[in-house]
Amino acid sequence: MREILRVLKPGGRFMVVAESYRGGRHDWLLGPVMRLLGSQRLSVDDHRGLFHKAGYTEAEIFEELGKGWLCATGRKPAVDCGPITA
The pTM score is 0.76
Strands (E), 12-55: 13-18
H or E element at residue 64:
strand 57-64
- Name 77's Cβ contacts closer than 8 Å, sequence gap at least 6: 10, 11, 55, 57
Each residue's pLDDT tens digit, 48-61: 999 999 999 999 99
Range of lowest pLDDT (28-32, 33-37, 74-78): 28-32
- Alpha carbon distance 62, 40 (integer Å): 20
Q: Residue 83: what pLDDT? A: 62
pLDDT band of 85, cuts 50, 70, 90: low
Contact 28, 85 (CB under 8 A): no
Q: What is the pLDDT of residue 23?
A: 82
